[in-house]
């Protein structure tokens, strides 16, 4: 019988014969490259995405910007109007910008909306305000008529014309009226911007959203008061913000401002007759 020491020597010889001895490397320091990841949102970004911290490009950019090295010419002149890139600057707003402009529309006597949005008018707010008005008008109208039919135990049928009519009214008004006003101001050599007029008229309709919600109250006199107050606030907001620019048209500036004011009031009357009055 062999001693324990002999067993140890034999095992060491077998190991050394089959596997080469690995020297002890000692303490090893592992170095990692600095990460290029940035925190989101960047510390210097205030609501908007900064130029140095933009997300990776996606497929949407191919519609507005040709790939590098492409020989396809970029559209110029009137053809650029039909590209997405032409409208990107008018949607470059964040939540704080939209909320500030909505607040200004609810305080019409300030008359500072045009000056604040002169360098950055947007179409994002007007689009969603009109879309919200269409949804609210259809939803409230449907709810009120449904409840009235059930209380009178009558058969209720959904009227899809309420959606199409309100969509044509709001989108058409925000598009056609500023366009006509732009042509009139150009005729009188008044400096104005078409997108800025779209922006002004779009935000002027926000006051009708809470007005439509209040029209649920089944009192006709109350609905007339709500429609009148909303129409007066909207008309004052548009007229006061355009007054300073239209004064350069000469002695006729008062007639133009009065026409703008009355047209906005007429809109509130139309809304009262067709949306604020829910008949069974």
Q: What is the pLDDT of residue 140?
A: 86
Average pLDDT over residues 133-142: 88
Chain segment 87-123, per-residue pLDDT in tens: 788 888 889 999 999 999 999 998 889 888 888 899 9
Model confidence at 225: pLDDT above 50:
yes
Residue 104 pLDDT: 92
Structure tokens at 263: 């047209």
pLDDT beyond 80 at 212: yes
Would you kindly state where each structural domain of the chain is located, as residue ranges?
121-274
Query: 22-80, pLDDT tens digit by residue?
Result: 555 555 554 544 444 344 344 444 444 444 444 334 333 333 344 344 444 556 666 66
| 80, 86 contact by CB (below 8 A) | yes
């Amino acid at each position: 019988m062999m001693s324990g020491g002999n067993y140890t020597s034999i095992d060491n010889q077998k190991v050394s014969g089959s596997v080469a001895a690995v020297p002890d490397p000692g303490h090893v320091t592992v170095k990692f490259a600095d990460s290029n990841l940035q925190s989101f949102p960047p510390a210097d970004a205030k609501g908007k995405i900064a130029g140095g911290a933009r997300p990776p490009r996606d497929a949407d950019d191919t519609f507005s910007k040709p790939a590098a090295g492409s020989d396809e010419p970029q559209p110029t002149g009137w053809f650029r109007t039909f590209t997405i890139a032409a409208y990107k600057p008018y949607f470059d707003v964040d939540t704080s910008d939209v909320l500030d402009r909505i607040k200004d529309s609810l305080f019409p006597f300030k008359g500072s909306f045009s000056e604040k949005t002169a360098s950055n008018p947007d179409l994002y707010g007007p689009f969603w305000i009109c879309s919200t008005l269409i949804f609210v008008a259809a939803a409230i109208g449907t709810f009120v008529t449904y409840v009235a039919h059930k209380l009178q135990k009558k058969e209720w049928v959904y009227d899809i014309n309420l959606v199409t009519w309100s969509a044509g009214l709001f989108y058409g008004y925000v598009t056609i009226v500023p366009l006509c006003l732009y042509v009139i101001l150009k005729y009188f050599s008044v400096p104005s911007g078409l997108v800025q007029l779209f922006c002004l008229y779009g935000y002027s309709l926000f006051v009708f959203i809470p007005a439509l919600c209040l029209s649920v109250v089944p009192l006709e006199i109350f609905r007339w008061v709500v429609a009148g107050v909303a129409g007066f606030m909207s008309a004052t907001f548009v007229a006061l913000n355009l007054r300073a620019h239209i004064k350069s048209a000469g002695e006729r500036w008062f007639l133009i401002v009065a026409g703008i004011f009355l047209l906005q009031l007429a809109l509130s009357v139309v809304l009262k007759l067709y949306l604020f009055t829910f008949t069974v």
